[in-house]
Amino acid sequence: MTVRDTQAPELPRQPNLGLPILEDLPPVAGRRVLVRADLNAPLRPGKDGGLEVADDFRLRASLPTLAWLGANGAEVVVCSHLGRPKGKIEPRYDMAPIREAMAELAPGVSVADNLRFDPGEEANDPAFVRRLVDGFDYFVNDAFGACHRSHASIVGPPALMPSAAGRLLMGEVEALTRILIDPEYPFVAIVGGAKVADKLGVLRSIAERSDRVLLGGAMCFTFLRALGHDVGASHVESELIEDARSLLDRFPGIGTPRDIVALAPGGDFGIGRPATGEVELFTDDLPVGWQGLDIGPETRADFAEVIAGAATVLWNGPMGVFEDPRFAEGTRAIAEAVAACPGFTVVGGGETAASLRQFGLEGRIDHISSGGGATLEFLEKGDLPGLAALRLSNAVRQS
């Protein structure tokens, strides 16, 4: 690995941390505090025929803020979205399972109805903001995972009342700012997942600041096609092949897989259904009809060696369909390499975090981001609408 001997390019917009924190609020004892959290947890069928929380990672992430407010005598109500009900009341997105889980995790904290049951949330309707904050004294934004949305509950309350960033949000901003502004080198990024379109901007941003960018997941096949490889029936975003080629030409540190674990034509990977079909390892090109679903052993070894020598690691997106054991080894190998890396490690994205929990490695990462799209947008642009709203609130209070 080549160690950089130059400074990272300066960001066009460096994030101004100037965010108000919990301690900046007026005394909260006896006051009603509205906390915007990200409790958008996955649900599954429960024993009683209803739904229950399948993964409480995001719920647990909200606890430090709630504990501080409770310990200082505040009456706390948490609001959040759940799913995409599109402004309508849908029973499958009712907050009852979240409310039940939070009652065990944070007794005494109330959970409001799903914000997205009201069309005013996503429309950032000022009237909805006023209804939302009615009866509250202070506002705390702890929903980093929604801060890239200019939704009513994110950007509205700071204009109307004393507001602060919660513990989770501040932790996210500090860790990701360290990645953006002052990473230690060698800096290695691992990027996987399904779509190039979702990550094209952040790929450009990270490639400018890192020594190596290692690509996996379905998105790598657009890059392999740009390099002239046959990728069988693997997912390719044809309209982005030229963009991928341009990135590869501009940044020689971008690495693509050199062997692929693929599924035969007619087979099915097992996510919620039986896993079927022949699985085979290919080097270089894939035959017609075969679908690449994981990186192979040579690529795993190559990537792990690069990660082992890193001082900073950012990982976003699994290397394959890790939910199917036949295609889990690539993601497992990267998870183990990142966990073993002595450098500063940051993992972002819900699926990536889920893979760490699946492999029992969650506790060996320096920072696991609760955001998906918010993490990517922050890494690309250096700021988010929710953060800007809090800084504006802070500036008004100090003027």
What pLDDT does 48 receive?
81
Residues 189 and 149 placed together within one structural domain of the fold: no
Q: Which CATH number characterizes residue 114's domain?
A: 3.40.50.1260
What pLDDT does 9 receive?
33
Residues 75 and 34 placed together within one structural domain of the fold: yes
Is residue 363 domain-resident?
no
Is residue 11 domain-resident?
no
Residues 41 and 158 placed together within one structural domain of the fold: yes
Residues 328 and 200 placed together within one structural domain of the fold: yes
What pLDDT does 194 receive?
87
pTM of the full structure: 0.88
Residues 110 and 212 placed together within one structural domain of the fold: no
Domain that holds residue 129: 22-170+383-398
Is residue 14 domain-resident?
no
What pLDDT does 17 receive?
73
Residues 327 and 392 placed together within one structural domain of the fold: no
Is residue 43 domain-resident?
yes
Nearest to 246 by CA among 269, 227, 273, 265: 227
Nearest to 25 by CA among 161, 163, 170: 163
Nearest to 318 by CA among 372, 380, 363: 372
Is residue 326 domain-resident?
yes
Residues 142 and 234 placed together within one structural domain of the fold: no
Give pLDDT tens digits along the chain (399 positions). 323 333 333 333 344 478 999 999 999 999 999 999 999 999 999 988 889 999 899 999 999 999 999 999 999 999 999 999 999 999 999 999 999 999 999 999 999 999 999 999 999 999 999 999 999 999 999 999 999 999 999 999 999 999 999 999 999 999 999 998 889 999 999 999 988 998 898 999 999 999 999 999 999 999 999 999 999 999 999 999 999 999 999 999 999 999 999 999 999 887 777 889 999 999 989 999 999 999 999 999 999 999 999 999 999 999 999 999 999 999 999 999 999 999 999 998 888 998 999 999 999 999 999 888 899 899 999 999 999 999 987 666 665
Is residue 349 domain-resident?
no
- Going through 216-354 in order, the beta strands assigned E by DSSP cover 254-255, 259-263, 279-283, 291-295, 312-316, 344-348
Residues 200 and 307 placed together within one structural domain of the fold: yes
Our count of domains for the chain comes to 2
Residues 134 and 239 placed together within one structural domain of the fold: no
What pLDDT does 270 receive?
72
Is residue 324 domain-resident?
yes
Residues 39 and 145 placed together within one structural domain of the fold: yes
Residues 209 and 333 placed together within one structural domain of the fold: yes
Residues 156 and 189 placed together within one structural domain of the fold: no
Is the CB of residue 180 less than 8 Å from the CB of residue 100?
no
Nearest to 314 by CA among 277, 352, 362, 354: 352
What pLDDT does 399 receive?
57
Indicate the SS3 state at residue 127: helix
DSSP 8-state symbol, 286 = B
Distances (CA, A) of 18 to 9, 65, 84, 174, 177: 22, 19, 32, 11, 13
Is residue 126 domain-resident?
yes
